[in-house]
Amino acid sequence: MTLKVYADRMSQPSRAVIIFCKVNGIEFEEIKVELSKRQHLSPEFKEINPMKQVPTIVDGGFKLFESHAILIYLACACPGVADHWYPADLFKRAKINSVLDWHHSNLRRGAAGFVLNSALAPALGLPLNPQAAAEAEKLLSASLGMIESFWLKGNGPFLLGSSQPSIADLSLVCEIMQLEVLDEEDRNRILSPHKKVLQLIEETRNATRPHFDELHAILYKVKARLRELCVAGTMTGDRPSSRSE
Amino acid sequence: MTLKVYADRMSQPSRAVIIFCKVNGIEFEEIKVELSKRQHLSPEFKEINPMKQVPTIVDGGFKLFESHAILIYLACACPGVADHWYPADLFKRAKINSVLDWHHSNLRRGAAGFVLNSALAPALGLPLNPQAAAEAEKLLSASLGMIESFWLKGNGPFLLGSSQPSIADLSLVCEIMQLEVLDEEDRNRILSPHKKVLQLIEETRNATRPHFDELHAILYKVKARLRELCVAGTMTGDRPSSRSE
C-alpha cells in the first residue's frame, strides 16, 4: 500500500517531508489538505489527525504526525535512505535530535511568528501585529545567529559541520525558506547578516535538486499574490500561512 | 568517566532527566546550575552549553542539551534501560517521538507560559502578566484536553495506551507537575477537569518512586516561599521559573 502524505506545500514541515520522500525515491501519494480552504478542519481529516495539522502520513494502517517524527520514521523504515540523513551512529543521531528539538522553541517560533504577523495575517483575516512581529523578529534573529555561530561550526557546510545533509538541515532550511514570502526589505534585514545560513540554504538546495525548487515554487506565487492584494488595497483573503504543527 | 548532568530541579526537563537516571540506575553526578543565581549565564557554563540552558549532559567528551534528545540518548546508550522507556519497535518509537515533538509547541508553551505569567514572574523581577497568562491558559487547557482525549486513549494508563511508562510520560508529567507552584484555585481550575491526566501523574509517580517525590519536593518549597513573599507584599526575588530549554 502506498504511503500517503497529507500536506500543504505552504506549510514548511510539509515541504520538508515531501522533499525527503522525493530525494530518497520513496513512493508516496501526496494528498493536498488546503489550509486556506480549511480542509484541515474537515471531519474526514480529523479522523486521520485529531490535531488537525499537516503534514500527516498514513503508511498502511499506521498514522503519524509531527514532521520531525515523520522524517525519523521514514529514514528508519524506508530501505535505501542514505545514512547521512539520520545516522545510525548514536552520537551523531543524538546531535541531530538536539537540533530538531531546539528548532521547535527557537527558529520555528521566531520564523513562523514573524511571517504571520508581518505578512500573512491579512490573508487569514487577521490584522498585522507589529508588536508580535517585533517580538518574533528578536527570536528569529537570535536563532539565525545561533545557527550561524554554533550549529554551523565545523568543516562541512551542513549543520553540525557535516559534509552531507541530515533531516535537520532539511527541516530548518524549509523553515527559513518561509521568509521568501516577506517583502524584500524585511527578508534582507533579517537574513543578510547570516552568510553561513545563506550558504546552508544553497547547499541544501543543491543537495536536493530539483525537488527543492519545485516544492518552494508556491512561496513565490503567494508572495506575488500578496503584493497584488496589497497594491489593490484589498487584503481580503488568499492562502493563509499554515496550520501546520 | 561519570556522566555529568547539569541541572536545576526547578526546571521541569531537568527533573525528567534526573528521575530517568535514578530510576534506571544510571550512575551520574548532578551539577547544580542555579538559574535564580544566574549560574547558567556564567562563562564556564556557556562553554558547556552556548544556549545557556539546563539540562545539559557531558558524557566523557560528548556534550548534549535538549531534554528529549538527552532522554533518547541515555535510553539508547546506557545498558540495562528497559525497552518500555524508548521501545526499539519502529512504530512505537515513532509514536513516542510524535508525542515529544507535540509537547514542545503545545503543553510546554501553555504550561510554562501560564506558570511564569501567573505565579513566578515577580520572583524574576517581572510583573505578572494576566493577558499572557490567559493566552497561555487556553493553550494549556487545550493541551491537557488532547492528552486526556487522544494521547491517553487505549487500555493502559500511560500515554499511547501503554501499560508501562516511556520517556514521553516522564517528560510530559514533569511539565504538568510545574503547576504545583500555582495557587490552589488556579491549579484546580486547570487540572481537575482532566481525571485521566491526574491518573497519569499518579501512575508515573508510582512507577518512579521514590525518585519522583524526591525530585519534585523543591516545588512545594518554592510554592510556600512564594506565598510568604506574597503575604509580605514583598515579591522581591526568589527562585525564578527556569531558563530551561
Is a pLDDT exceeding 80 seen at residue A242?
Answer: no
Domains in chain A, number: 2
Specify the pLDDT at position A144: 98
Helix, strand, coil fractions of chain B, as percent rounded to 5? 65, 5, 30
Residues composing chain A: 245
pLDDT one-digit tens code per residue, A130-180: 999 999 999 999 999 999 999 999 999 999 999 999 999 999 999 999 999
Shared-domain flag, residues B122 and B186: yes
Using alpha carbons, list the distances in angstroms from residue A167 to A11, A213, B19: 16, 17, 30
Mean pLDDT taken over chain A: 92
Closest Cα partner for A6 from A41, A36, A31, A40? A31
User: Is residue A154 within 8 angstroms of chain B, CB to CB?
Assistant: no
Phi, psi of A194 (to 5 degrees): -110, 80
| B55 Ramachandran zone, left/alpha/beta (phi>0; psi -120 to 50) | beta
Shared-domain flag, residues A109 and A95: yes
Does A64 lie at the interface with B, CB-CB under 8 angstroms? yes
Q: State whether residue B145 sits within 8 Å of chain A by CB.
A: no
Let me know how long chain B is.
245
Looking at residue A244, its pLDDT comes to 61
Kindly compute the dihedral angle of the four CA atoms of residues A171, B86, A105, A70, in this order, to the nearest 10 degrees. 30
Interface with B, mutate which of A89, A97, A146 (most B CBs under 10 A): A97
The CATH code of the domain that includes B142 is 1.20.1050.10
Tell me, yes or no, whether A71 and A22 share the same domain: yes
> Does residue A219 belong to any structural domain of this protein?
yes
User: Looking at the structure, do residues A57 and A90 belong to the same domain, yes or no?
Assistant: no
CB neighbours of B37 closer than 8 A, spacing ≥ 6? none
In a domain, A9, yes or no: yes
Q: Tell me, what's the pLDDT at B51? A: 94
Res A237: pLDDT: 43
Q: Are residues A129 and A185 in the same domain?
A: yes
pLDDT band at A245 (very low <50, low <70, confident <90, very high): low
Q: What residues of chain A lie within 8 A of the CB of B105, using their CB? A: 104, 108, 245
Domain annotation covers residue B40: yes
Q: Using a CB–CB cutoff of 8 Å, tell me whether B39 touches chain A.
A: no
Domain that holds residue B120: 90-232
pLDDT at B126: 82
B75 CB-near residues (< 8 Å, 6+ apart):
B20, B81, B85, B86, B167
All residues at 6 or more sequence positions from B88 whose CB lies less than 8 Å from its CB, including other chains: none
Of B65, B76, B98, Cβ closest to residue A64: B98
Q: What is the pLDDT of residues A101-120, one digit of tens each?
A: 999 999 999 999 999 999 98
Asked whether residue A238 is assigned to any structural domain, the reply reads: no
Q: Would residue B143 count as lying in a domain?
A: yes
pLDDT value for B220:
93
> Is there a single domain that holds both residue A207 and residue A92?
yes
Q: Please tell me whether residues B75 and B112 are part of one structural domain.
A: no
- CB contact at 8 A, B187 and B144: no
The candidate with the shortest Cα–Cα distance to A145, out of A184, A98, A110, is A110
Tell me if A241 is assigned to some domain. Answer: no
- Is there a domain that residue A239 lies in? no
A238 pLDDT more than 50: no
Find the closest chain B residue to A62 by CA distance.
B91
Residue B191: predicted pLDDT: 98
**Whole-number Cα distances in Å, A74 to A59, A67, A167, B29, B163:** 10, 10, 10, 36, 26
Vertex B113, ends B107 and B118: CA angle to 5°?
125
pLDDT string in tens for chain B (245-residue length): 799 999 999 999 999 999 999 999 999 999 999 988 889 999 999 999 999 999 999 999 999 999 999 999 999 999 999 999 999 999 999 999 999 999 999 999 999 999 999 998 877 778 889 999 999 999 999 999 999 999 999 999 999 999 999 999 999 999 999 999 998 999 999 999 999 999 999 999 999 999 999 999 999 998 888 888 777 665 444 444 445 66
b/e B152-166 (16+ beta carbons within 10 angstroms → b) = beeeebbbbebeebb
A55: domain CATH number is: 3.40.30.10
Q: Which 8-state DSSP code applies to residue B44?
A: H
Residues A113 and A222 in one domain: yes
> Can you tell me the distance from the alpha carbon of B73 to that of A37, in angstroms, rounded to the nearest whole number?
41
Report the SS3 class of residue A183.
Answer: coil
C-alpha cell at A200: 546552508
Which residues in chain B are contacts of A100 at CB distance < 8 A?
Answer: 69, 101
Cβ burial of A192 (10 Å; 0-12, 13-18, 19+) is exposed
**Partner A contacted by B142 (CB < 8 A):** no
Instruction: Examine the domain organization and report whether B46 and B148 are in the same domain.
Output: no
Question: Which of A22, A26, A18, A19 has the alpha carbon at shortest distance from A2?
Answer: A26
Are both A46 and A93 inside the same structural domain? no
Among A3, A101, A149, A243, the residue to mutate for chain B (most B Cβ within 10 A): A101
- List CB contacts of B22: < 8 A, sequence separation 6 or more: B208, B211, B215
Question: Residue A97 is nearest to which of B50, B69, B245, comparing CB atoms?
Answer: B69
